[in-house]
Amino acid sequence: MKTLARKFYYMAAVVAAAALTLSSCEVDLSVGDNTLAGRESTGYLCSYVWVDEWSDADGYHRQELCFYPDRTGEDRILFRDRWGYEEEYRYVFTWDWYDAFYTSIRLNYGGGDYSFMDNMRMYDRQIDCLLDGYRVTFFGY
């Protein structure tokens, strides 16, 4: 009887130790979730419509990115040529933080079409980043 009781206590101790070990070593594989930094970065990102405007030899361009907390978003692009002809495009995407430091976002437009916002710095209603390799500054409105 003492041997059976010892085995029971030993097994209970092993199970308790394993439970403590597993609960303290849980790894969240979805980057950007359940951390204060992730919630703050996501909250900031989703608080504004991010706008970049520029002109070149072809005309005027405006890009607006909207990020939503459910990991969806919209990309609206307006183009106006020198003669006043306008075209507007609207794309939907899903997004996720692409690194654990909240400095890179992957935009999935579907059909294997991705864009990446890398080396992001978010401050003062502004995002400086590399959008698909091009230096871009978005302003939050």
| Number of independent structural domains in the chain | 1
pTM (2 d.p.): 0.74
- 3-state helix, strand and coil shares in percent for the chain, rounded to the nearest 5: 25, 50, 30
Say if 70 falls within a structural domain.
yes
Say if 76 falls within a structural domain.
yes
What are phi and psi for residue 35, nearest 5 degrees? -130, 155
Say if 15 falls within a structural domain.
no
Say if 52 falls within a structural domain.
yes
pLDDT at residue 1 in the model: 46
pLDDT at residue 3 in the model: 45
Q: How far is CA 60 from CA 12, 38, 52, 77, in A?
A: 70, 35, 11, 11
pLDDT band at 33 (very low <50, low <70, confident <90, very high): low
CATH of the domain at 124: 2.40.128.640
Q: Round to whole Å and give the CA distance between 72 and 75.
A: 10
* pLDDT higher at 99 or 31: 99
Asked if residues 121 and 110 have their Cβ atoms less than 8 Å apart, the reply is no
Per-residue pLDDT tens digits for 49-63: 999 999 999 999 999
Asked if residues 138 and 65 have their Cβ atoms less than 8 Å apart, the reply is yes
pLDDT at residue 51 in the model: 98
Work out the percent of the chain whose per-residue pLDDT is above 90.
72
Say if 25 falls within a structural domain.
no
pLDDT at residue 37 in the model: 82
Residue numbers of the domain that contains 96: 42-140
pLDDT tops 80 at residue 128: yes
Report the chain's mean pLDDT, rounded to a whole number: 83
DSSP run (H or E) holding 4: helix 2-24
* pLDDT higher at 110 or 1: 110
Say if 57 falls within a structural domain.
yes
Most distant CA atoms of the chain, gap in Å: 95
pLDDT band at 38 (very low <50, low <70, confident <90, very high): confident
